Chain A
Amino acid sequence: MNTKPRIAAMYSRGTHYPRLLRFLRNEYPGCELTAVVPPAYPERLLEGQCDRILRTEREQYGLRDLRAILTLLSTLRAERFDALVVMFNSVKLRLLASGAGAASAYVFTADRRFFPVTLSLLGEAWDYLARNLRGRITYAYIAWVVKHQRVGK
């Protein structure tokens, strides 16, 4: 039975993925580190940086790729990671981290901040809805200004 803590580092398009892997390796030297990367991510860039590589089905995921997202979540849940680390503090990635079934989830940002994702799936969903509502109000106001207050007048 594997008793090492199992940590997964989820790749997103960003330049600090190697830094994330190095950080996890240094901070948690006894862990089993899994790099979750897209199909085309070169294996040689991961050599010596992780213990396992888990390839996602797609290079990128959009909101419309629901089936692929569910497959990804199901794959991650089946792994039962102790911790899942994402690269950006975005709602989508926090939702993914919350839904991946890991015992805990963290964000590691480009400026080396490392902090837990504390919200529940429900909390993330609420945050997402609240952000949308605020966004729609902001947009409605800006649209009114642009349409009714012309520079040329």
Chain B
Amino acid sequence: MRVAFVDLLFSWPPHGGADVDLYHVMAGLRSEGIEAQLFFAHQTASDEAGIADPESLPFPATRIDFSPHSFAPDSVTERFREALDAWRPDMVWVMHAFGMKPWLLDGLADFTVVSRYYAHELMCARDPRRFKHGAPCPNDYLRTPDVCRDCALESQRDAIRQGTYKTWTEEYIAARAYAPEYHALSLGALRKTRALVVSNTQLAAELAPLHDDIRVLPGGVDTGAFPHAAHEANPGRARILMSGRVDDPLKGLGTLLEAGAALWQQRQDFEIVLTHHDHDLENDWVRCTGWLTHEEALAEYAKADVCVVPSVWHEPFGLVAVEAMAAGRAVVASRTGGLADIVLDGKTGLLVTPGDAAALAGALSRLLDDPGERARMGKAGRARAESDYDWRQVVRKRYLPLLEELGG
């Protein structure tokens, strides 16, 4: 089977989780004997997207260059169409792209097309996060287009006026995503798509009225890379680790610090370790590791007693929760998005309401009190990571059956 992956934003070394996901899926499918090829766009004036050397990738890749003037719906669709016609795939997966995606889906509709969404780009016009005023936004571009068009205009005002925008705004302008007809194009393109793929069941449920074939495909980790050891409680204070992009307000550091302050009033037997560079955050119970190499970050998991993922947005996947499980650590996470799929409440960790500092403090306190429960959860988490989230398993158990089903 020949499967083409089309991506407008792919970069390697990666610029984000979507790049890492695509890289592992491509490499995994190739190792399973699937003929997979990547077709990705490179904007010659951009330093942000499409920065990859096809020769350095472990799978065949074709880079299609666009100047700022040629990065327009017609030429983008036409250039990809030409490349795909020459390669003749059985199926086309349109992966990471923003405003230009509906044009691509529409223009490639006579292939069997699967559309992959990594975050909320289908439902939000202002950015892929769908997060506003400190909370997940209840609006949805497909259902409330004019409200979302106004919001997108307002939020991108300064970037457009100053001409200093990034890829989201670049595609917003190039694809004319602000125009009223773009809404009908988006809905029409969805109808022509064979299946939609998202990263969590919450998002799948939300999109269910719009499409009758929505699949949930998680990301993964290389579980072999994690220095897994059975959990042994730290002899001194217990370590609660929050890792990843801690400085991103969506990740819920504020909630964790509030929970930590409340907990410190009751007990002084813990410290919270943040993979954050701002040492001003440090106090009696907070320590920042500063910037870490990948290996150092992995080592932090091994030194942790509990890992915490207090995200306040609808986290599309939640890679750090999987990493913590792969390292054999109990996870306390927000009950939202992909985290609610990854963490089995009471088995591999505990789930709490996003933004609820008291609930978070309660969950952490429970695990601090019971090293035995932490160890049991860590062990169950490691087993779950190995069976469900190791890249090899994700490709074999999730991607291959889906390709067979859709391709057949």
**Contacts A149-B180, A151-B183: A111 and B149 contacting too (C-beta < 8 A)?**
no
> Are B11 and A40 touching (Cβ within 8 A)?
no
B residues in contact with A41, CB < 8 Å: 291
CA separation between A45 and B52, bound complex, in Å? 24
B265 near A: Cβ within 8 Å? no
CA separation between A149 and B180, bound complex, in Å? 6
> Are A45 and B291 touching (Cβ within 8 A)?
yes
**Nearest Cβ distance between residue B156 and chain A, in whole angstroms?**
8
Interface class of chain B by DSSP? loop
Q: By CB atoms of chain B within 10 A, which of A110, A135, A151, A152 has the most?
A: A151
B32 near A: Cβ within 8 Å? no
CB-contacts of A39-68 with B (<8 A): 40-42, 45, 59
> Are B160 and A151 touching (Cβ within 8 A)?
no
B residues in contact with A152, CB < 8 Å: 145-146
**Contacts A135-B161, A150-B180, A151-B180: A40 and B47 contacting too (C-beta < 8 A)?**
no
**Contacts A40-B279, A139-B160, A152-B146: A111 and B51 contacting too (C-beta < 8 A)?**
yes
Contact check: which of A45, A91, A146 meets B153 at CB < 8 Å?
A: A146
B178 near A: Cβ within 8 Å? yes
Closest to B45 in A: A89
CB-contacts of B138-195 with A (<8 A): 145-146, 149-150, 153, 157, 160-164, 173, 178-180, 183
> Are A131 and B11 touching (Cβ within 8 A)?
no
CA separation between A139 and B47, bound complex, in Å? 23
B293 near A: Cβ within 8 Å? yes
Residue tally, chain A, CB below 8 Å to B: 32
Residue tally, chain B, CB below 8 Å to A: 29
B residues in contact with A145, CB < 8 Å: 178-180
CA separation between A40 and B178, bound complex, in Å? 40
B13 near A: Cβ within 8 Å? yes
**Nearest Cβ distance between residue A72 and chain B, in whole angstroms?**
19
Q: By CB atoms of chain A within 10 A, which of B47, B162, B179, B180 has the most?
A: B47
A2 near B: Cβ within 8 Å? no
> Are A91 and B164 touching (Cβ within 8 A)?
yes
Contact check: which of B13, B149, B162, B180 meets A131 at CB < 8 Å?
A: B162
CA separation between A128 and B52, bound complex, in Å? 28
**Nearest Cβ distance between residue A115 and chain B, in whole angstroms?**
12
Top 6 A-B pairs ranked by shortest CB distance?
A135-B163, A131-B163, A151-B145, A111-B51, A139-B160, A110-B51
27 CB contacts below 8 A, A to B, read A16-B13, A40-B279, A42-B290, A59-B277, A88-B47, A89-B47, A91-B164, A92-B164, A109-B47, A109-B51, A111-B47, A111-B53, A112-B53, A131-B163, A132-B161, A135-B163, A136-B161, A138-B173, A142-B153, A146-B150, A146-B153, A146-B178, A150-B146, A151-B149, A152-B145, A152-B146, A153-B180
For the A-B complex with A88-B47, A135-B161, A151-B149 known, give 18 more contacts whose Cβ atoms are closer than 8 Å.
A40-B277, A45-B293, A59-B277, A109-B47, A110-B51, A111-B52, A131-B163, A131-B164, A132-B161, A132-B162, A132-B163, A135-B162, A139-B157, A139-B161, A142-B160, A146-B153, A146-B178, A153-B180
